Structure 1
Amino acid sequence: MSFQLTSGICERIHNIKNDEEQEALTQTTPTLQVLSIKKVGPSTTAADRYRVIVSDGEHFLQAMLATQLNKFVEDDEVVKNSIIVIDKFTCNFVQDKRLLIILGMHPIHKATEKVGSPKALNNASEAATPTVQKPVSTTGTASTSTATQSHNASTSAPRQQQRNAKGQTIFPIESLSPYHNNWIIRARVTQKGDIRPYSNQKGEGKFFGVTFMDESGEIRGTAFNQAVDELYEKLQEGKVYYVSKAKVNLAKRKFSNVQNEYELSLERITEIEECRDGTAPSVRYNFVSLGDLQNIPKDTLCDVMGVVKEVGDSTELLSKFNKTVTKRELTIVDRTGFSVRLTLWGKQAEQFTQTDQPIVAWKGVKVTEFQGRSLSMISSSSMEVNPDIPTAHALRGWYDSAGNSQSFHAQSSGGFSQGPVTFDSSQIQLLNDVKESEMGTGDRAEFFSARATIMHIKNDNLAYAACQKENCNKKVIEQHDGWRCEKCDISFPKPSYRYILSMAVADCSGQAWLQGFNDAGQVVFGVPADELMELKDRDEEGFNKAVAKAIGYTFNFTCKAKQETFNERVRVRYGIQKILPLDYKEEAHNLKELLSSAWAQ
């Protein structure tokens, strides 16, 4: 085969003077050589980005690959000295240099040597006059003449540049950067979060986040305070909008799972106009099968699709900020024969009422670990019920014909044990040793025995109002007709209180916070939660004295150390599995045996 690079194209791109020149160039499909490929360091949640240098044989340019083209590099289809045809591109002006953004390409040959002696383009006066480029010749089963290749590269049918109704050029999301302000994107809203409060050194306010997507990629947008009032109602999930006059900033990666190094700051002057013409960009998924979740690291974000086999009741939990959060658990299955529990929160939990076993696609759900692999939606996750895509239609056909009659295996954590629930005095560990060994930070829970003294008990949220029905224990809500349990659909004149214990304990090495439930609370206080909460209602001072009375006592604990994520924060939680008062007779016996052992001799 013989190929010819598109002569002079790098210089023409470098010397673009206006939008008209850029538009004319972006309608061509130049043939270039890749001189180098360098990975740009990503965050833990964003995709890799690749910066490349491309050459037309005379000059070279810096370029960036759109993330959907990463597969060419990762599959070794494009390597150093490869010859490529750029099917779609745009340009940005970054630090006084043109940066080529490659949005579409296909490789045509893996060359072994660099073509020509390309030079850098510093400014227009230094650019060399285009010369006739010699073809790169290789051997192969097919033959393409130099003249034919040159004709194809320069006279390919121009692509239609996308414009809005006002005739303005639409930019792909992948081309946005802080160095270009006059842009308009046409994008679908794939996710819109709730309005949430914030508080920092500058004061208090509110914000919401939204994810935009087009054919080139995704970008996260955030609005604060007055911009929330202006824009929140204008944006609806699933609809397509023209968006302009927003700031492009470097992304705060810890707050987003969107694969883009930039994000949008939506302001009062930001223009949002619904697009009612043309086809809407479809959501791009990278599905992981339920059977493969065991191989996905905990806290990873992934896309899944499944049949919703079971829909649990919505329940309400009390968050650590003393706010009520709605929760609903679904059981989903797929063709791998596995079932997985997926948790919805907040608005998604309240609004999910489909009971006809729909097909649902989730984007950006978190892999969690609770009695095996499970999934959880977070603030930036999105879901689509019965999506009109081939994989969903295939899953529907399988389930209706065969899947609805088969049994499924629940995802397990590979022989994970719930651990001991008995105290072993010979295995006591110091609290500081537990922390320094980072116990519980892996995918599995770890268990330890400790002997510690209670130093402080949080008494502002010591118990919750629970259902009186046996084996329910769900939180009840006070209404005009009494205390109502949504799960049991029953109202009671009064609730049955249950302990939720959070206390600081200490030994000779240090301190740790332990969490426990009703059984632990009854051991610590010696009375049921109903009795202590009744005391709080009629005698606040007496209640405080009762709590203070429990401080200073030493107990033997069996605890479970487990890393968990709550409100997108990762921490190790020490849960009380069993709590026992000291048995001084047994302790004396143990000391006697220790003094008689070889260790004491």
Structure 2
Amino acid sequence: MVQLTAGVCSRLNEPEHAEDLLSSTPIVQILSVKRVGPTAGPNPVDRYRIIVSDGEHFLQSMLATQLNHLVDEGQIIKNTICRLDKFTCNMVQDKRLLIVLNMTVLEQSAMKMGSPQGLQIAPGDAAATPSTAHHTPAVNQPTPVVNPTRASSSTTTTPGAGAGRGQGARSGRAAIFPIEGLSPYQNNWTIRARVTNKSDMKSWSNQKGEGKLFNVTFMDETGEIRATAFNAVAETLYDKMEEGKVYYVSKAKVNLAKRQFSNLSNEYEISLERNTEIEECRDAGSFPAIRYNFVDLGKLQDLTKESFCDIIAVVKEVGEATEFTSKFNKTSLKRELTVVDQSGYSVRLTLWGKTAEKWNHTDQPIVAFKGLKVGDFGGRTLSMAGSSSYEVNPDIPESHGLRGWFDSVGSAASFQSHTNTFSGSGGAVNFNRAAMLSIEEVKTKDLGNGDKADFFSTRATVMHLKSDNIAYPACPNTGCSKKVFDQHDGWRCEKCDRSFEKPEYRYIISMAVSDYSGQAWFQGFNDLGEALFKRPANEVVAIKDSDDARYNKLVEEVNGQQFNFACRAKQDTYNETTRTRYGVQKILPLDYAEESRHLVELLSSPWAQ
């Protein structure tokens, strides 16, 4: 049987002995595992509290989120014996808290070993230096830089003091904290982290005054955290950090994160201050690069609007940088890319500001994007947010695989886009006659009220069609469909940066439908309109402009028609009002021969017996 490391919990509980554990890999038993709720942010992650025992004493602990899969897969259960390969031990509210960063499961025991007792906090512990980090590498992990030992604050290295003099010149720095372990309860900490994103210097103005700020995202092997600097501090520190480089950061303040400004799954953020110290880490060869959680373009439909995701894709097309005016009446630039991957989907991705201006990659590169914002205008779209970042042709397996696929197959392939409607002749969403729901059932089941969209099939009759705004002027360029505006030199498309003699009108439909159980409003676009009117939108708009009586007759002919619908239900918020929208994905006229065959099959099924 595996033997536990005797006395390790009591030594972890005493700061003066904690440094003895820097090179150890203690073996402990997990007495309990408890979920304590997710992290804050738009992409919450579960957190687990565990109790570890050495057979004599037990210690409260937290499992780092990157180890959650061990719980989810059932590898960590009550009485599991494991080896702690990497951990830190912090003081939190006068209590010693062990944070497990990496471990190896050795055995799942059915019984508790020994009779472990709780530990008492020794007098003066709360005032002791708050943590000692343990950086012994896990099995098969690259060896990180060994942490320097701690010393008094009077010998702490100032920014740049040790540059070029090696690790020994930095021996006065406090022990390295993991980002996962940072909280407002620690004061004397140093993190070693890579800058994965650095914003432009921004100006702000409100009733309290005006100033400047910038943000950076720091990442280490345990997680990510956002940091912000204002005014004079921002001007001092801005040029001291570059994206992709690794730095030692200390003497800054940890606060609760302002969720409206960050998409990171971290409940805290860092405020960079006047005495904050930033020093580049010269020996960062083993430090982890940017971590991604890639989503296939074909699965974007499963993500909610305003959520964030990482993708790796081929930039198939690059649009021109065009000017636009924001709602704050500021002029900036935007550029739209078309990206594709092996899922067979293409998606429009928007770049903003200086990123749009500086983009010069026109050779269909592989690009890994991190922290893109998901939109749903005309389907699924992506855009870069303030904390988003990207790498061109990254040296990772996903990039090499995608390059090989595109060069051999993908460059000649046809791609599908995420659109809100599909015509009756085909599409990604199919009408399911055997699983049709009535309108009342759709509402009773609260379809569309969850985090993800729900899909359903129904048969309904058009009762009323909103006819005052039935189409919009669109760009005639193939694949664009953006709204164009009548200007002195013609109809201008901002996306294509061109003017046209006349637009190509496209339907935008809102209609009330009904069946035997109730009524609902369905929305759709060009394919839905063409199925209803059996003619292109240009023709209907021309009739509307020239002959009101004929136009009204066309609308009346649509009312009373019955169709089979495949729909998407999803909550939508507009003007602070939330409602469920039913978008028509496919519309099919009734096929009475097919309906008869279905009824015959139904009568012959066990249901009819």
TM-score normalised per structure 2:
0.64
CA–CA distance in 2 between the matches of 1:91 and 1:414? 54
Q: Is the 8 A contact 2:571 2:578 kept in 1?
A: yes
Asked if structure 1 preserves the Cα contact closer than 8 Å seen for 2:145 and 2:284, the reply is no
Instruction: Letter of the 2:411 partner, please give it.
Output: N
Identity %: 56
Q: Structure 1, unaligned stretches of length 5 or more? A: 126-152, 418-436, 453-463, 476-485, 491-560, 574-601
Query: C-alpha displacement at 1:48, in angstroms?
Result: 2.0
Name whichever of 396-405 and 354-363 sits farther off.
396-405
For 2:268, the equivalent position in structure 1 comes to 262
Residues 214-234 of structure 1 deviation map (CA, whole Å, 9 limit, x = unaligned): 222211101122211111222
Query: Is residue 321–residue 357 contact of structure 2 (8 Å, CA) maintained in 1?
Result: yes
Q: Does 1:36 pair with 2:21?
A: no
Provide the C-alpha distance between the structure 2 equivalents of 1:217 and 1:316, rounded to a whole number of angstroms. Answer: 36
Give the 3-state SS of the residue equivalent to 1:288 in structure 2: coil
Residue correspondence of structure 1 range 449-598 to structure 2 within 5 A = 468-474=488-494, 487-488=497-498
Alignment of 1:92-107 (within 5 A): 92-107=90-105
Give 1:307 deviation, angstroms. Answer: 0.3
**Does structure 1 residue 48 correspond to structure 2 residue 55?**
no
Read off the aligned partner of 1:114 and give its amino acid letter. Answer: K
Instruction: Tell me the CA shift for residue 97 of structure 1.
Output: 1.3
1:364 paired with 2:364, answer: no
- Structure-1 residue corresponding to 2:8: 9
Partner residue, 2:314: 307
Question: Following the alignment from structure 2 to structure 1, what is the Cα–Cα distance between the partners of residues 9 and 215?
Answer: 39
**Residue correspondence of structure 1 range 342-421 to structure 2 within 5 A:** 342-413=349-420, 415=422
Does residue 320 in structure 1 map to residue 305 in structure 2? no
Amino acid at match of 1:315: T
Displacement after TM superposition at 1:100 (Å): 0.6
How far, CA to CA, are the matches of 1:339 and 1:292 in structure 2?
Answer: 11
From 52, 57, 60, give the equivalent of 1:59: 57
Measured in 2, the distance between the counterparts of 1:16 and 1:562 equals 53
Which AA in structure 1 matches 2:328?
F
- After superposition, give the CA deviation of every residue in 1:376-400 in whole Å (9 maximum; x if it has no partner): 2111111111111111111111111
For the 8 Å contact 1:92–1:179, the answer to whether it is kept is: no
Q: Quick one: which of 118, 121, 124 aligns to 1:120?
A: 118
Measure, in 2, the Cα distance between the counterparts of 1:46 and 1:349.
30
Task: Report the CA distance between 1:49 and its aligned residue.
Answer: 1.9
Per-residue CA shift, 1:537-563, capped at 9, x if unaligned?
Answer: xxxxxxxxxxxxxxxxxxxxxxxx998
SS in 2 for 1:70: helix
Structure 1 counterpart of 2:24, one-letter code: T
Bigger CA drift: 116-125 or 99-108?
Answer: 116-125
Q: What displacement does 1:14 show?
A: 0.5
Rounded Cα–Cα distance in structure 2 between residues aligned with 1:331 and 1:224: 36
Counting only pairs closer than 5 Å after superposition, residues 160-179 of structure 1 correspond to structure 2 as 161-163=146-148, 164=167, 165-167=169-171, 168=173, 169-179=175-185
1:71–1:275 distance in 2 versus 1, CA, 3 Å: same
Match of 1:80 in 2: 78
Give the CA deviation at 1:102: 0.8
In the alignment, structure 2 segments of 5+ residues that lack a partner are: 124-137, 149-166, 425-446, 455-461, 469-483, 501-568, 580-609
Q: Which amino acid aligns with 2:7?
A: G
Contact persistence 1:467–1:474 (CA under 8 A): no
**Paired AA for residue 33 in structure 1:** Q
- Flag the 1:292–1:451 CA change in 2: closer, same or farther, 3 A: closer
The Cα offsets for residues 506-538 of structure 1, whole Å up to 9 and x where unpaired, read as xxxxxxxxxxxxxxxxxxxxxxxxxxxxxxxxx
1:150 aligns with none
Which residue of 309, 329, 339 corresponds with 2:346?
A: 339
State the match for 2:220 in structure 1.
214
The residue matched to 1:291 in structure 2 has which SS? Answer: helix
Matched, 1:278 2:284: yes
The AA in structure 2 aligned to 1:83 is I
Within 2, Cα distance between the matches of 1:306 and 1:473? 26
1:59 partner letter? H
Over 3 Å counting, the alpha-carbon distance change for 1:226 and 1:416 in structure 2 is farther
**CA spacing shift, 1:400–1:171, aligned 2, 3 Å:** same
SS in 1 for 2:402: helix
Cα 1:23–1:347 change in 2 (3 A) is: farther
Q: CA RMSD in A?
A: 4.3
SS of the aligned residue for 2:492 comes to coil
Q: State how far apart, in whole Å, the 2-side matches of 1:488 and 1:415 are.
A: 28
Contact 1:54–1:63 under 8 Å retained in 2:
yes
CA contact (8 A) 1:62 1:100 kept: yes
Shift of 1:415: 4.3
Distance 2:228 2:3 in 1: 46
